[in-house]
Every structure is written in structure tokens, then in C-alpha cells.
Amino acid sequence: MKFDPVKHWNDRHFELPKNRDTSSYAKDKEKFFPRNSLVCDLGGGVGIDSNYFLDKGHEVYLLDISDYALKAARNTAVSKGLGSHLITKEVDFSVGMFPLEDGLVDIVYSRLALHYFPLDRMKEIFSEIYRILKNGGKAFIAVKSPDDKREMGALRKIAKETSPGIFDENGLIKTRFTKVQYKTVLKKAGVLSFEVRDCVEHFGKGKVYVKSKAEKLLYIEIIINKV
Ligand SMILES: C[S@@+](CC[C@H](N)C(=O)[O-])C[C@H]1O[C@@H](n2cnc3c(N)ncnc32)[C@H](O)[C@@H]1O
């Protein structure tokens, strides 16, 4: 049967506990957002981090492939009286452009949602991120790292590496590109100023939602500065 990404992600969001905490990555990065920013959360799912940004006074465009997740995110925002500060858009990042105008947002934020696309598509995604950022805007992106040995061990048990850094888990593509590969693609995408570095996120005990069950994850963090 053909892999259906919308069904996959709707099912996955349905299964996950609804009372998850804001990620520590979001809390760390929000400190760098200008006050009252316009933020785009790419692949923000049920909007746990997006809703934290709303609580902090920002406005958020939340883009995700899962209509189920976007409804949940909207319900949370509405229940807090912040529904008018959140715009959700159902978007598949594997094709086309982001439905946002050039230079619109102060911040692009994306946690664990952009390691699903091959490098040629990542080039287009980075140029889309750059396009929608205002001059002076910043992007904070966290993706899984091939240097996290425990996560890689867990991934290799359930997915087949079809080409270097590209894994197929029953039709769902997961990528584990290196920092060097990301730097090369960012340059090809025309991004003039960026950093690519290691970053660790710690989860609390009993709050682990990754397959390896590890209490910390090593990410690659990509920071883009639009100059
Ligand atoms: C691992 S979850 C991360 C969710 C959230 N950012 C977080 O930190 O908990 C990956 C997210 O990317 C979204 N996603 C996966 N593939 C996508 C695609 N092709 N287009 C848009 N969103 C996608 C999923 O629906 C999901 O919300």
C-alpha cells in the first residue's frame, strides 16, 4: 500500500500524549526572539511550542501536514483566548513553496520536522525559509544528528538505509545528514549567513517520546541570519 504521509502523521499525533511540556529547545530559543515577533513554526504539530510562543506575546504561523494536529493546536490557542494570534496552514513541505509572502516573519522555528526530505528538497526548503524571513530575521532549526549513536542504533533496527544518510521506515523517509552536508546545501540555497552546530536537548524523566528511549538527544542546530 502506498505511504500516506497525512494519515501517518495524523495517527502519530493521535497516539502521542496530549499533555507534553514545551520543549526546552523552544524555551532556550524564544529568549532570542524580538518581543512581539511574527514567528513561523515549521512542522510544529499539535502546537505545543507554538502555544508557548503565543503565551510569550508572539504571533504564530503554524505550518504542518497534519490537519488533526493543526486543529489541536488551534483548540489550545482558542481555549486560552489567543486564537486570533495563531494562523494554521496545512502544507506539505516535500513540494512547492511555503504559502507566506517574502520577508514576512521575524523568526522561523522548526524542531525535529525537517529531517524527512532529501538534500535537493532541503535546498529548496532553505531558500523558502530565507525568502519568508525579514531582513534581520533569524531561523532556529533542530534536526536529528547522525552522531547520536543511540538514536542511530534504534533507527537502523526499524529502517533501511537506501542511500547514505537516507532511511526508509515503511515508506516514511528519514534523513540523517552531516553538518558538512547541511553547510553545503545552505550555501547552494543562497543563504549568506548561517551557523551549523551540535546541540543537546534533555528530556525530563518519564517525558521521553523518541524511539531510542534516550533521555537526551543530540541534534544538529542550524541558525540562519537574514542579512
Ligand atoms: C517529530 S514531529 C515534531 C513536532 C514538533 N515540532 C515537536 O517538536 O514536537 C514532526 C512534525 O513534522 C510534520 N511533518 C512531517 N512531514 C511533513 C511534511 N511533508 N510537510 C509538513 N509537515 C510535516 C509532522 O506532522 C510533525 O508535526
Give yes or no for a contact between 38 and 63, defined as CB atoms under 8 angstroms apart: no
Q: How large is the greatest C-alpha to C-alpha distance in the chain, in angstroms?
A: 47
Q: Is 43 in the pocket of ligand 1 (CB under 6 A)?
A: yes
Give yes or no for a contact between 223 and 127, defined as CB atoms under 8 angstroms apart: no
**pLDDT given at position 45:** 98
Structural domain for 36, as ranges: 5-225
27: domain CATH number is 3.40.50.150
81-113 burial code (b ≥16 CB/10 A, e <16): ebeebbbbeebebeeeebebeeeebbbbbbbbb
Q: For the whole model, what pTM was predicted?
A: 0.97
**pLDDT given at position 204:** 75
Structural domains counted in the chain: 1
| Total Cβ atoms within 10 A of residue 14 | 13
**pLDDT given at position 208:** 62
Distance, CA of 94 to CA of 107 (rounded, Å): 21
**pLDDT given at position 154:** 96
**pLDDT given at position 47:** 98
What distance in angstroms lies between residue 43's CA and the mean position of ligand 1's atoms?
Answer: 4
Candidate from 3, 14, 93, 176 with most ligand 1 atoms within 8 A of CB, to mutate: 93
Q: Is 65 in the pocket of ligand 1 (CB under 6 A)?
A: yes
Give yes or no for a contact between 53 and 60, defined as CB atoms under 8 angstroms apart: yes
List the 166-169 sheet strands across, edge first: 160-163, 166-169, 172-175
- Tens place of pLDDT for every residue, the chain, 227 residues? 899 999 999 999 999 998 899 999 999 999 999 999 999 999 999 999 999 999 999 999 999 999 999 999 999 999 999 999 999 999 999 999 999 999 999 999 999 999 999 999 999 999 999 999 999 999 999 999 999 999 999 999 999 999 999 999 999 999 999 999 999 999 999 999 999 999 999 987 666 667 777 889 999 999 999 99
Q: Is 167 in the pocket of ligand 1 (CB under 6 A)?
A: no
**pLDDT given at position 206:** 66
What residues contact 164, with CB distance under 8 A and at least 6 apart?
none
**pLDDT given at position 196:** 98
Q: Is 47 in the pocket of ligand 1 (CB under 6 A)?
A: no
In 3-state terms the chain splits into helix, strand, coil percentages (rounded to 5) of: 35, 30, 35
Nearest CA to ligand 1 atom 2: 113
183-193 burial code (b ≥16 CB/10 A, e <16): eebbeebebee
Q: Which helix (H) or strand (E) holds 49?
A: helix 48-55
What distance in angstroms lies between residue 110's CA and the mean position of ligand 1's atoms?
Answer: 9
The x, y and z cell numbers of residue 128, run together, are: 523558502
